[in-house]
Structure 1
Amino acid sequence: MGAAETMETFFEKLNEGDRKAAVELMDERAEMRVHVLGNVRTLRGVEQVGGWFLRADTGLRMIPGEVRETGSTYEADLLVLRPGAPSQHLDATFRVEAGRITAINLAPR
């Protein structure tokens, strides 16, 4: 499964509320960087990275807009929706190797 197919499945599972199935697409050594207010937080391992998605607000939706796929890298303008919170646009980059998400970078637009 290539990067686009893996990410389509990830977003489908996440947006259906099946977060556990979405997290199962992550590599054990996955790494995620989240940029907030000039700071960067790095999460390492599927427990931390997957946990971030599992603990997210009920009703979290991530909808990819413009997508650029270059081999194992999937870049997207993500619309993030959470009940009771303003929507957000994020620049997102996902690295996929052998059908597993190995790296995620989320930054505000």
Structure 2
Amino acid sequence: MQSYRLTARARAQDGTITPFSLEIMAPKEYPEGEYGCVVHCPTVGFHGKPIFGVDGRQAMALALWIVEHLLTHEELTLIDDDGVEITLPVDREGGIPGGPDRTDL
């Protein structure tokens, strides 16, 4: 599994737009037998911390899910250069909850 990178913009509820970058490193196996993906996402204050799962796919899925929820908590919407709203990919089969707020699953 490869790392995941996204460069976009984050729009706050007041209309303020700031740069957004996300890098989730490819999962690696840790000594305890878990797999972890190190997440770098300065916009939501998540930098250099691993997210763990039972396998690499679940670790990546959980990392994306957590970043999505941090964006929601900060009331930020991701947009592309044209101002069109974008969402992070969600891997429901990867072992994460879809949540009641997702209608695209």
| TM-score using structure 2 length | 0.29
Q: Larger strand proportion, structure 1 or 2?
A: 1
Say which one has the larger Rg: 2
| TM-score using structure 1 length | 0.28
